[in-house]
Chain A
Amino acid sequence: MNERLIIGQYYPANSVLHRLDPRVKFIGSFAYITMIFFAESLLSWFFAAVYLFAMVIISKVPVRLMLKGLKSILFILIFTCILNIFFAPGETVVFEFYFIKITLEGLLLFAKMAARLVLLIISSSILTLTTTPLALTDALEFFLRPFAKIGLPAQEIAMMMTIALRFIPTLMEETEKIMKAQKARGADFETGGLVRRAKALVPILVPLFISSFKRAEDLAMAMEARCYRTDIKRSKMKELKFQRADYSALVCVTGFIAGLIIFRYF
């Protein structure tokens, strides 16, 4: 994997999940995220968690990477926790100290919300960690295609995403270069208040914008020279195609949906 640059969060590994059709993974994640809003009973929560844990294991992605995504929601979790503790309605007081009143209902509400968020983040992490951005783009194009009838340019949106993915590393490298050049001239990006730091960014953004316009112009010409046109449907080197594993996966997703609905009432 030495020279292959990983954009986004893709974690290369050889697992069933990695090999699945990106559309199936999209459907699976979407179904999961929708269904966890139906989880009610303890058993249904347990079922959802076990299902997701199984997916994590199957994906062969280190759990550490899965948990990384959770860091970003830590703040939200703490915040809602405090809110719930202070303001949640409920009679069953478990702890009282002056104006602080913690109720059982509040705690339960918080637990549910936290569980939902955690499962949601992990399930979408599984999608992005096992699917290359290119495959994600292909799947997105597929799902947007029906909207082409009402004028949504699905093919062009996918092309825009492809180009964005291609140029993210190039522009990052360029930013770094410009920053180094400015630093060598005595620019200071690390100290000072917010305003000062924002001001220090101007000499980076201006050259970056200028060079990006030049790139865009060049790229447009290169694309035209290679017969790019928007008035016809382009073909694809790799057509998305369902394999047997994809059908099995869909059965699995259906099983999960059914299971959750049943367990909800226990």
Chain B
Amino acid sequence: MEIIKFENVSYEYIRTDEQQRITQRFEAIKQLNLSIEKGEFVAVLGHNGSGKSTLAKLINALIQPKSGTVTVNGFDTSVEENIYKVRKSAGMVFQNPDNQIIASVVGEDVAFGPENLGIKSAEILRRVREALESVGMLKYFDYSPHNLSGGQKQRIAIAGVLAMEPDIIVLDEPTAMLDPLGRRDVLKTVMKLNAEKNITSVLITHFMDEAALAQRIIVMEGGKIAMDGKPAEVFSQVEKMRELRLDVPQITELNYMLKKSGVNMPLGILTVKEMTDELCRLKLRA
């Protein structure tokens, strides 16, 4: 069952001057078609300005398409009454951990979403504890978020989304401002939620090693989907990736270079383990 569906979606940013006259139009999403199945873990890659964040905002009903329809969990995001249902079922985590935490106490911040939904106190408390537990931050319940690390703050932001009990979580470059340790923790959390709670995850990132962990990769370019497939399929097209001004994981690059210089091995190797296995196999055969 598809939980996110884009049908011929276009979106345009419009700049106006003081007199509300249009000075500039920019079509950030162009005639885009996409469907994502329930429980999928999709990574979205793309050069700066390719329309990734716009795509994310369309899923969360923060913006509505100019033409075409976006359907999330069966709700058309263009219909006024659906907006809060869509936002409840598709939670969103943003890039800057500091700019999305609302309260000065961790527990209170996680409670923000459920409070907006008008849920009863006892139930909110239960959800907040459960959400903090599943991101491994329960012991920080009554801490101030201010002194926590970036990775911890992002996990609190994830807990804030979880407390609304969403079906989908969209993360817009959640690890861009984090150190390697923080990145690892955040990614682990996302993968765990996807695996254990079957939460459909859409991870926008510019780290290829993160994208390699997904079940599916979508590459955006100029407001359109340029590539769509399994990580091995996408990354094996090294030249096309370069054309789109993107890198591939180091090991895939090595794989590509070996292949190009005549070594007999398949393309699409993503991990060091796969590479060593493949090399050992070659050695045995030789």
Contact = CB atoms under 8 A, between A and B. Distances in A.
Nearest to A159: B102
Nearest to A222: B100
A162 interface: yes
Contact of B142 (A4, A165, A166): A4
Contacts of A3: 143-144, 147-148
Given A3-B143, A224-B87, A227-B84, A134 B105 contact: yes
Contact of A5 (B60, B94, B113, B144): B144
B117 A227 contact: yes
Interface of B is mostly: helix
A169 B146 CA distance: 7
Interface stretch (A23-31, A123-131, A195-203, A231-239): A231-239
Interface in B57-103: 60, 62, 84, 87-88, 91-92, 94, 96, 98-103
Interface residues of B, number: 44
A162 B104 CA distance: 7
> Size band of the A side of the interface?
20 to 34
B104 A133 contact: yes
B161 interface: yes
B174 to A, nearest CB: 12
B167 interface: no
A221 B84 contact: no
B207 interface: no
Interface in A220-256: 221-229, 232-239
B108 A237 contact: yes
11 contacts: A3-B143, A5-B104, A133-B104, A162-B102, A165-B104, A222-B102, A224-B87, A225-B92, A227-B84, A237-B114, A237-B121
Interface of A: 3-5, 7, 133-134, 162-163, 165-166, 169-170, 214-215, 218-219, 221-229, 232-239
